[in-house]
Amino acid sequence: MALTETVPAAPAHEGILRRQSLRESAARTYARSLPIVPVRARGLTIEGADGRRYLDCLSGAGTLALGHNHPVVLEAIRTVLDSGAPLHVLDLATPVKDAFTTELFATLPRELAEKARIQFCGPAGTDAVEAAFKLVRTATGRDGLMAFSGAYHGMTAEALAASGGAQHTSVVRLPYPYDYRCPFGTGGERGAELAARWTQSLLDDHKSGVPHPAGMILEPVQGEGGVFPAPDSWLRRMREITAARQIPLIVDEVQTGVGRTGAFWAVDHSGIVPDVIVLSKAIGGSLPLAVIVYREELDSWQPGAHAGTFRGNQLAMAAGAATLAYVRANSLDRRAGELGARMLTRLDSLAAAHDCIGEVRGRGLMLGVELVDRDADADATGARPADPGLAAAVRDACLDRGLIVELGGRHSAVVRLLPPLTITDEQADAILDRLADALTAAVRTTPGPTGSSPTTMRGTTP
């Protein structure tokens, strides 16, 4: 069936949405901006109870490397179910877990995998972040942590304290390379180098007020923060700075992992080898799974130092192992890099045609379009203030056109695209056609933040 065709509407749709808003907490998130009721899904496509079909570029917040219900994932799950294997086993050894660990280690940077330990954590990315912090604190006997402005590491206490949105935090905050609004006014490699020097000076200046930390955590591409790929040179500098000072480097690949950025792990681009790597989302093949993998010298935990009931999800391990193997066998990391570069080029032409696009950026199939106030003057670095109202209008117009996208960034003004790595060229074109159309419509109907009339187009929409 063609993507735009509809299936018969289900009358339950409205009632389900109404009951959700009455019963679920005020903290519900995606459900507010995406009032749909998914009932079936395959690959890039979700079918709603209202009978409409959507192209899903949210992919479970970057979880679905192979899209929805990929046959190899379903087959792996069915095999476990049909085998009679126990589904709940705490952290006991099983053939399913053994196969998952073997497959995961085969994909990791060799220097890490050869002398690595793995800890299966509670099922969410944030659980693995907490485990990483606890691990480096135990190993170093130190307490403080370093993290970056704009970061996102999760919603549990310590992970949140290391994230950009935290209000009360003891975690020392460092500048992340931020090209578009570079705090040093330069942008590019130079801005990143100045950010690295600031980090180095905080560590070396005995009067900086920053105690020697237990660890530093960073994302190779900040995702929720607004899609900021860090330059490889900056990542290498962070590796050198931390290694020279015996500070464990924790790399959070919860969102960037499993091919998303055009390399199997985003650290592969720069060649850095972290001391701890935090993994979740795609490694579970759409089911909950989270682990940390770390250098064995850091393994000074006592038995039971980090426990948890749900660390043995057999279905997630089977689905995850199948996903890792499929991405590896089909070089989907390379495909993500090539297709992402082509999509970025098309987004660049969209930016050239619309005043309201401040910047498009990304790496692989982790792409972002930042919407800005088309009437405001650019600052010294050429950046203009974010326009979250227009971004929300674009997201809504996308949904109207059967395209699911979400917003990210400091001001929720970055439209994010995280399609499955399996999409075809035609599907990529369909995504960008719908986005371009939605943008034109949103610009036509949304006044600028300063109340101006709709934007003038610079050219024709690609």
Residues that bind ligand PMP (CB under 6 A): 61, 124-126, 129, 152-154, 219, 223-224, 252, 254-255, 280
End-to-end CA distance of the chain: 27
Q: Which is nearer to ligand PMP, 131 or 372 (CB)?
A: 131
CB of residue 287 to ligand PMP, shortest distance in Å: 12
The closest residue (CB) to ligand PMP is 125
Residue 249's closest CA among 217, 226, 208?
Answer: 217
CB of residue 288 to ligand PMP, shortest distance in Å: 8
Q: Which is nearer to ligand PMP, 125 or 337 (CB)?
A: 125
Residue 35, CA distances (Å) to 231, 402, 405, 430, 440 in order: 37, 12, 12, 22, 22
- How far is Cα 77 from Cα 69, in angstroms, rounded to an integer? 10
Q: Which amino acid is at 430?
A: A
Contact (CB, 8 A) for 259 and 418: no
Q: Which is nearer to ligand PMP, 61 or 391 (CB)?
A: 61
CB of residue 457 to ligand PMP, shortest distance in Å: 34
Q: Which is nearer to ligand PMP, 129 or 436 (CB)?
A: 129
CB of residue 129 to ligand PMP, shortest distance in Å: 6
Q: Which is nearer to ligand PMP, 120 or 152 (CB)?
A: 152
Burial of 163: CB neighbours in 10 Å, binned 0-12, 13-18, 19+: buried
- How far is Cα 208 from Cα 201, in angstroms, rounded to an integer? 8
CB of residue 21 to ligand PMP, shortest distance in Å: 22
Q: Which is nearer to ligand PMP, 137 or 153 (CB)?
A: 153
Contact (CB, 8 A) for 333 and 264: yes
Q: Which is nearer to ligand PMP, 37 or 218 (CB)?
A: 218
Q: Which is nearer to ligand PMP, 222 or 455 (CB)?
A: 222
Backbone phi, psi, residue 363, to 5°? -145, 130
CB of residue 338 to ligand PMP, shortest distance in Å: 24
Residue 342, both tokens? 């082509």
CB of residue 159 to ligand PMP, shortest distance in Å: 7
CB of residue 154 to ligand PMP, shortest distance in Å: 4
**Cβ count near 425 (within 10 Å):** 10
Residue 262's closest CA among 176, 366, 183, 334?
Answer: 334
SS3 370: strand
**Cβ count near 298 (within 10 Å):** 20
